[in-house]
Amino acid sequence: MRGQDRAVPSVSISQMREIDRLMVEEVGVTLEQMMENAGRALAELARRGLGDLVGRRIDVLVGPGGNGGGALVAARRLANWGADVRIALASAISRMHSVPAHQLAIAEKMGLETIGSGTPLPDFGGTALVLDGLLGYSLAGAPRARAAELIVAANNSRVPNLALDVPSGLSADTGDPFEPTIRARRTLTLALPKVGLLQPSARTYVGELFVADISVPPRLYERFGLSVLDLFATEDIVRGDLS
């Protein structure tokens, strides 16, 4: 496949933050649109891993920010495809950012089960897959409170974890894990791999690395000296650890 015949470039946190800003302010692609693209890709990669989804339990761990919103989009799609989806929140609904809160409202209108941040942790017995949407690339310090509890519970369950963008608890710049950090079977990073995901210290937490197209125009990457013109030429989810 043409998009995988070449090395996949990586970006720093500061570069990715600037790309996100340019997407909204110059290109006009909204946060809602990028979140929808991220969640659709996450749901697709989950389906590739599980196959037939009908009746399969998938637990979706949701933080208050953008990663949580993307995970909620995936939850909605997976439920539509027949999975038994359960949502576990890491914060009170009142503390969620507006766009993820809107995604949660949609999920609740669909009747998806939601485990609030003030209730007992989910029992992962019978769960086929955990989606990690707790914390994103803007992580500042070790996960705390309910997010940390969910990470520990998910790791201890030994259920396969699929992380969105960056395994929660991992530094996206250095690849160093905080305590605790999700140990993912697979990680689906968005737009381009963050440099920390490719570091040796990150390998046991990232697992298999994939990259999802969230519709960033190649000309934006060119400002940072990056060429991605044919990265997604044949499919919009590609392996991200090729060099």
Name residue, tokens 């993912």: 184
Would you state the pLDDT for residue 3?
41
Instruction: Give yes or no for a contact between 177 and 158, defined as CB atoms under 8 angstroms apart.
Output: no
Predicted model pTM = 0.95
pLDDT at residue 5, rounded to an integer:
52
What is the full per-residue pLDDT of the chain (243 aa) written as tens digits? Answer: 334 455 789 999 999 999 999 999 999 999 999 999 999 999 999 999 999 999 999 999 999 999 999 999 999 999 999 999 999 999 999 999 999 999 999 999 999 999 999 999 999 999 999 999 999 998 889 999 999 999 999 999 999 999 999 999 999 999 999 999 999 999 999 999 999 999 999 999 999 999 999 999 999 999 999 988 788 989 999 998 754
Report yes or no: 8 and 194 within 8 Å, Cβ to Cβ.
no
In whole angstroms, give the CA distance from residue 114 to residue 110: 11
DSSP symbol at 175: -
pLDDT at 69: 97
Instruction: Calculate the alpha carbon distances from 61 to 88, 194, 196, 202 in Å.
Output: 5, 21, 22, 21
Instruction: Delimit the domains of the chain by residue range.
Output: 2-239
- The answer to whether 172 touches 197, Cβ cutoff 8 Å, is yes
Predicted confidence at residue 6, as pLDDT, reads: 57
Q: How many Cα atoms sit within 13 Å of 132 on the Cβ side?
A: 35
**What is the C-alpha separation between 206 and 176, in angstroms, rounded?**
11
CATH architecture of the domain with range 2-239: 3-Layer(aba) Sandwich (3.40)
